[in-house]
Each structure stands twice: as structure tokens, then as C-alpha cells.
Amino acid sequence: MPETPALPHQSLGHALPMAGSRLLLMMLLAALLAGCAGRELATRDAPGGLSIDRALILAEARRALGTPYRLGGTTERGMDCSGLVQRAYSRAGIRVPRTSREQFEALPRVDEARPGDLLFFATAGGRKPSHVGIYLGEGEMIHAPGRGRRVTTTALALDYWQERFLGAAAPAP
């Protein structure tokens, strides 16, 4: 008996597993890429007031406004971003590691930043923390932005910060 030629719908039986595995592979790649995207920068202002520790941290950070940037600095003569954090937290009697990377790795993470919490960013390319600021509330942070600049406040709604955000930490009660 002669073999009957395969009908078009019969030959699809072999193509469907191939198309299905391509679709599955594309979905996996999309999920992986989405996982590489930055975290959402979520904040929560403290309507009921701040702890004394957070109030001291924010007061010290505000006193630093206008201080020139100096790599490795922690004094009124000059400070870098993690030096600002270290100085502000020491005012409240809280010890934090020296660099933004060490701070990011050691301090307890939170999903929503409250005033006085730390915000970490990857500003030097890649996915490692290279910048830290202190959340002030109302969508702003205080930070030491870099060479030739001074400690200042900035709006967190800027795409620059949103795209580079890595996470928040809350070393203060």
C-alpha cells in the first residue's frame, strides 16, 4: 500500500514543540531581563513624627548643606556621600560602615524608605552601589553629589535616580 503524503496539519505536530520551546525561551529571557531592572523607589513619610534618632540624623544632614565634596571626607571642610551618612548617623550614636558599598551590604533593607533612611544607587555603571543619600521626606534626599559640588538636596522623582536605585536601608529605629 502506498504511503499517503502528510497533510499540512499533521506536519505541524513537529513544528509546535519547536515553536513552544522558542516561546518558552523568549519568556524566560524577558523574565531574566525584568529581574535585572532596578527596584522601585518607594517612600513613606512619617505622619506621626520621627524618632529622636531620625530627627538627630536629619538635623545633622541639614547642617551639612553647602559643605564641599571631598572624597573620603567626613568633616565640615569636605565630605563624600558615605562620609555624610557616617557623620549624620554618628550624631544619633549609630555606627555605620564607611563606604556606600559596605553600608549597602551590612545594613538592614526596607521596602519603603522613611525620613532618615538610606537610599543606595549605582551611579558608576553596573549594579553595585556607588552612591548613597539620606531620605529627607516629601520625595527628596540630601547627598554629597561629587567633585566640584556641595552637599545638597535633590528630588527623587528625577529619572536619573529612579533608573539607578538599588534599595533602601534603615539603620535607625
Cell numbers for 120, please give them: 543606595
Angle at 61 between CA 70 and CA 160, to 5 degrees: 70
- In this prediction the pTM is 0.76
Map out the domains of the chain with their CATH numbers. 52-169 (3.90.1720.10)
Report d(CA 80, CA 145) in Å as an integer.
8
User: If DSSP codes are grouped into helix, strand and coil, which group holds residue 131?
Assistant: strand
Cell of 26: 523568549
Mean pLDDT per 10-residue section of the chain, whose length is 173 residues: 44 43 39 47 77 96 98 97 98 96 97 97 93 97 97 98 97 92
Just list the catalytic residues: 81, 131, 143
